[in-house]
Amino acid sequence: MKLKTGARFSPSRRSLLSGTAASSLAAVSASFPMPAIAQATRLSYTLSWLPTGQYAFVYMARQLGFWKKRGLEVDITRGYGSMAAVQGIATEKFDFGGAATGAVILGDARGLNLKMVGTQGYDGGLCILVPANGPIKTPKDLAGKKIGVTAAGGDTPFLPAYCELAGVDYSSLAVVSLDSQIIEQSVINGAVDCMIAFAMSSIPNFVTQNFPVRLLRFADYGLNFYWVNTLVSASLMAKDPQRVADVQAGLMEGLKWSMLNPEETVERHLKEQQELAITKNAKLFTELGVGMVAAINVAPEAEMHGLGYTDVQKIEQQSKLVQKSILKPNDPAPKPVDSYVVNLPHGVVTLTSAEWKMVREKTAQYSKMLGLTA
């Protein structure tokens, strides 16, 4: 990918306010107050992870005015894992945010009052990443190995279920809790043998350090989830559904623009994220994130219904996976999916057939990297 690389008229106060004119103007002003200037509504949005290239589309929604034209000013905060994001939105620390679908379903099953108002990607890429040249070739090779996890990650709760389905003795694993900023490096330097991950979050770190990895995909054993969903508290949804729709529509306009303009998205994102921009291989790292998100949005749901559309039946299937794999017998039964999944009728963002064709061509290499194609 290649990056694309007057005087103002101001009349003096004296010319406007002199002699009796000043008195007249004051009288008129007192009789007819100036109209109030509409103030933008300020909202907060939490990512589920660091502000890497995979979340560039969120920043595009703000940079390019897709929220501003709807009267919204949105503060974006970095995340600390999907479980933390879910908790932050449910407690209304944040107005909106994104979190991994499995974490959303789990949070709802545990009584958190949330609404899922959009899908930001249709393949979560839940997996275990292992060194390509190492001894772990199949899931059964994980026995006795050290595996890195992040405590608040939306992927971590599904590790025991994956082990059961893949025929791995979970108790034989040495599970090591690590900070999100060092987990990939811990695999590279051998502190752990492998790590659980959402592929898009971690693959760029390995590619930019020229460290080949192999994916053990959870989807191969039936644990298949969407990537990230847009969330809002149920109370805000009830109080102001139009504002919720505006936030989601602006977000999807940012996603569409990013999918169609990946090179400029990379450039714009790096200009805003200075800490990311000064790191080694920042451009490639960001390019990978942008491309992978575009790749996981090439899906029937988005093509048929518009970006952000959520297939309620698929969430139902994913909810059953959570119920079967994670919830305990004495846990409360999950609420019906249609009680918290909402497809907003306003502001649907679509692509033309020609645009979808272009996105497919641009994202072929990323689809292969994620194991979506051979």
The answer on 257 and 362 residing in a single domain is: yes
The answer on 217 and 233 residing in a single domain is: no
Residue 373 pLDDT: 84
The answer on 147 and 66 residing in a single domain is: no
Residue 329 lies in a domain: yes
Distance CA 98, CA 264 (A): 23
The answer on 230 and 194 residing in a single domain is: no
Per-residue pLDDT of the chain (374 residues; tens, 9 = 90+): 433 333 332 333 333 333 333 333 333 334 444 444 458 899 999 999 889 999 999 999 999 999 999 999 999 999 998 899 999 999 999 999 999 998 898 888 888 989 999 999 999 999 999 999 999 999 999 999 999 999 877 788 889 999 999 999 999 999 999 998 899 999 999 999 999 998 998 999 999 999 999 999 999 998 889 999 999 999 999 999 999 999 999 999 999 999 999 999 999 999 999 999 999 999 999 999 999 999 999 999 999 999 999 999 999 999 988 888 778 788 777 788 989 999 998 889 999 999 999 999 999 999 999 999 86
The answer on 306 and 177 residing in a single domain is: no
Nearest-10 Cα torsion for 349, 352, 261, 69: -30
Residue 339's CATH number: 3.40.190.10
The answer on 172 and 52 residing in a single domain is: no
Distance CA 172, CA 185 (A): 23
The answer on 198 and 309 residing in a single domain is: no
Q: By three-state DSSP, how is residue 265 classified?
A: helix
Strand partners, 233: 114
Residue 38 pLDDT: 59
CB hemisphere CA count around 4 (13 angstroms): 6
Residue 177 neighbours by CB distance under 10 Å: 12
Residue 290 lies in a domain: yes
Residue 16 lies in a domain: no
The answer on 292 and 234 residing in a single domain is: yes
The residue out of 174, 202, 221 marking a domain boundary is 221
The residue out of 186, 221, 256 marking a domain boundary is 221
* Residues near 30 by beta carbon (within 8 Å), at least 6 away in sequence: none
Task: Give how far the C-alpha of residue 162 lies from the chain's centroid of Cα atoms, to the nearest Å.
Answer: 23
The answer on 328 and 247 residing in a single domain is: yes
Residue 92 lies in a domain: yes
Question: Which range of residues forms the domain containing residue 130?
Answer: 126-221
Residue 142 neighbours by CB distance under 10 Å: 24
How many separate domains does the chain show? Answer: 2
Tokens read off for 274:
């200075």
The residue out of 198, 221, 244 marking a domain boundary is 221
The answer on 177 and 246 residing in a single domain is: no
Distance CA 232, CA 344 (A): 13
Indicate whether this model's pTM tops 0.85. no
The answer on 233 and 331 residing in a single domain is: yes
Residue 30 lies in a domain: no
Residue 34 lies in a domain: no
Residue 323 pLDDT: 84
Residue 3 lies in a domain: no
Residue 68 pLDDT: 98
